[in-house]
């Protein structure tokens, strides 16, 4: 079953608390997972950041909004209980509770007035997204746009510049020792790309064979198989093949079945690595995301 959005969890969460007892977030999460018939994969699916489960995030935000509307109240760290106002809402048996419904409560209006992330004109668009999901989705959109721009710039650059870019990236990833060592280890071979060897570590205990070309076509198994043959000729055990396009499924399957260790880096992965290691990009803004320190206050906000 699809993971319910956080607004769809509001009414079930309030009903769960309708017994008037104190409950924990863990109890609510288990109850909601059971009610919506979620399997382990759905319960454990992560947000793009990989730092929190999507379902956990949505359950938490459903209770945050109910608290802001005065329907639930915190009773301790990670614990809450329904309020009289929450009981009154349940007695009216509403068909659903969402952001529009919560706007009738002054405390929620005050909360929403201090944060612009859920303006009325954006409600429909953001109906199934928590604030973290909206932020992360926007962040991923920006990265995707930057990725496409990076690849376009790479394809428009000279072979020499591409050689320098790959060297810079490998050094940023702690391969090749110094920039000078890496530059000496990789020599240009024309054809819009580079081929050579580079130290795997700063001491040069092992080397990695590199093949990198600005392809605009899908790289198939024959190309990867030829690269594996080149490794044999170099008596190399490890290799990295970089392309600005993509690898076919047959090529990806092939490298999993051979003895030599070959890493395939397609255009999307190349751009991601450049962003992660600060090669060819510069930071223009940073937005720290904070939460209440429960250890400091001794209870959940």
Whether pLDDT at 121 is above 60: no
Over pLDDT 70: what percentage of the chain?
86
pLDDT (0 to 100) of residue 183: 62
pLDDT category at 184 given cuts 50, 70, 90 is low
Distance CA 239, CA 175 (A): 13
State which of 109-118, 136-145, 257-266 shows the largest mean pLDDT: 257-266
Lowest-pLDDT choice from 24-28, 39-43, 89-93, 285-289: 285-289
Residues 113 and 182 in one domain: no
pLDDT tens-digit series, residues 200-226: 776 767 788 888 888 888 999 999 998
Whether residue 42 lies inside any domain: the answer is: yes
CB burial of residue 176 (10 Å; 0-12, 13-18, 19+): buried
pLDDT (0 to 100) of residue 90: 96
Domains of the chain: total: 2
Q: Which helix (H) or strand (E) holds 234?
A: helix 221-234
Going by their DSSP bridges, the two strands 79-82 and 23-24 should be labelled as: antiparallel
Per the listing, tokens 């290799």 go with 239
The residue among 114, 129, 144 that closes a domain is 129
Number of H helices, E strands in the chain: 14, 8
Degrees, nearest 5: CA angle 181-186-190: 150
Q: Which of 48, 46, 90 is nearest to 66 (CA)?
A: 90
pTM assigned to the model: 0.61
pLDDT (0 to 100) of residue 71: 97
Give me the half-sphere count of Cα atoms (radius 13 Å) on the Cβ side of residue 139.
15
SS3 label, residue 276: helix
Residues 90 and 183 in one domain: no
CATH number at residue 211: 3.40.1340.10
pLDDT (0 to 100) of residue 56: 92
Report the mean per-residue pLDDT for the chain. 83
Distance CA 281, CA 142 (A): 13
CB burial of residue 23 (10 Å; 0-12, 13-18, 19+): buried
Q: What tokens does 201 get?
A: 């570590």
Look up the domain containing 58 and give its range: 10-129
pLDDT category at 101 given cuts 50, 70, 90 is very high
Whether pLDDT at 188 is above 60: no
CATH number at residue 54: 1.10.10
């Amino acid at each position: 079953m699809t993971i319910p959005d956080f607004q769809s969890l509001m009414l079930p969460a309030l009903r769960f608390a309708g017994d008037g007892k104190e409950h924990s977030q863990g109890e609510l999460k288990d109850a909601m997972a059971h009610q919506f018939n979620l399997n382990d994969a759905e319960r454990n699916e992560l947000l793009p950041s990989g730092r929190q489960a999507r379902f956990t995030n949505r359950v938490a935000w459903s209770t945050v909004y109910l608290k802001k509307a005065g329907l639930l109240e915190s009773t301790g760290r990670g614990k809450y209980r329904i309020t009289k106002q929450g009981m009154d809402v349940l007695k009216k048996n509403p068909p659903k509770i969402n952001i529009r419904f919560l706007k009738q409560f002054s405390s929620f209006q005050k909360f929403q007035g201090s944060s612009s992330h859920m303006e009325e004109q954006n409600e429909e668009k953001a109906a199934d997204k928590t604030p973290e999901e909206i932020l992360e989705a926007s962040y991923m959109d920006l990265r995707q746009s930057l990725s496409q721009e990076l690849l376009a710039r790479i394809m428009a650059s000279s072979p020499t510049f591409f050689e320098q870019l790959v060297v810079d990236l490998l050094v940023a990833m702690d391969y090749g020792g110094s920039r000078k060592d890496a530059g000496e280890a990789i020599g240009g071979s024309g054809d819009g790309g580079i081929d050579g060897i580079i130290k795997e570590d700063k001491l040069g205990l092992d080397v990695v064979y590199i093949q990198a070309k600005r392809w605009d076509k899908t790289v198939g198994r024959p190309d990867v198989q030829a690269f594996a043959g080149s490794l044999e000729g170099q008596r190399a055990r490890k290799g990295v093949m970089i392309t600005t396009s993509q690898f076919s499924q047959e090529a990806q399957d092939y490298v999993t079945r051979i003895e030599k260790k070959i890493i395939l880096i397609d255009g999307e992965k190349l751009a991601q690595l450049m962003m992660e290691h600060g090669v060819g990009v510069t930071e223009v803004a940073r937005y720290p995301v904070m939460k209440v320190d429960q250890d400091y206050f001794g209870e959940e906000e």
